[in-house]
A and B are shown apart, each in its own frame.
Chain A
């Protein structure tokens, strides 16, 4: 049980049927997905220290909800949704309910939504991952979250709009703007 040749779906079935205390199948699933989970938690939360706690909570939540996995999507997509929900709830708790709930056209031109200058100024690190971290950490939640949900997790625009509670057009605009800002800031750091 838990051999690396099995598909995620078979491992989920094995983990659900395993006797209490037998975590071998789940361990294999965890090995495959923990890096992605922790990476995403790191950048969604924007906080290195919170990332480990969040990744742990996401993996534990996934374990206790394995029997709800119906195989309609891949396991990676399924755990990705748990991760996004968990990280957004964490941000709502720590930063307040309205951290991203900005959906008025007038507010779209708010300076707080633009972080290019701040992000540009912080691009000093030479290594790729460090430079990406600095650019992402320099972006506001309003731009960083939809960008990560789209380009890192592969969620659809509609799913992002639903998760964040903002309009579809606002999501598309923010992702476009976030990509532009990222490319400018990241390009200047090279």
Chain B
């Protein structure tokens, strides 16, 4: 028998709780570049989609306007 306190085997490992590596000096720069790259890509995609939708809508409108019977005659001046 010993008087030493018995270490609880189910006790969390303190060594792991306190373990920390120094962050890599390039980590922040890499994160910034990645965020900026993804933001730029998302903005570019959004812009491209907007251009595509606008172009398609304009094209559709020109087809509808050119369709026989859909052309509205210019309103005459009805004053007087």
Binding site for B on A (CB under 8 A): 20-21, 23, 27, 30, 34-36, 38-39, 42-43, 52, 55-56, 59-60, 63-64, 128-129, 132, 147-148, 150-152, 176, 179-180, 182-183, 186
Contacts and interface: CB of A to CB of B under 8 A. Distances in A.
B68 interface: no
B16 interface: yes
B45 to A, nearest CB: 14
B38 A60 contact: yes
A27 B28 CA distance: 8
B24 A179 contact: no
B26 to A, nearest CB: 7
A52 B31 contact: no
B9 A34 contact: no
B13 A179 contact: yes
Interface in B1-23: 7, 9-13, 15-17, 19-23
Given A147-B16, A182-B13, 18 more contacts: A23-B32, A27-B28, A34-B23, A35-B20, A35-B21, A35-B22, A55-B23, A56-B30, A59-B27, A60-B38, A128-B15, A129-B19, A132-B16, A152-B19, A176-B10, A179-B11, A179-B13, A183-B13
A132 B24 contact: no
Nearest to A175: B10
A56 B13 CA distance: 27
A59 B31 contact: yes
Contacts of B38: 60, 64
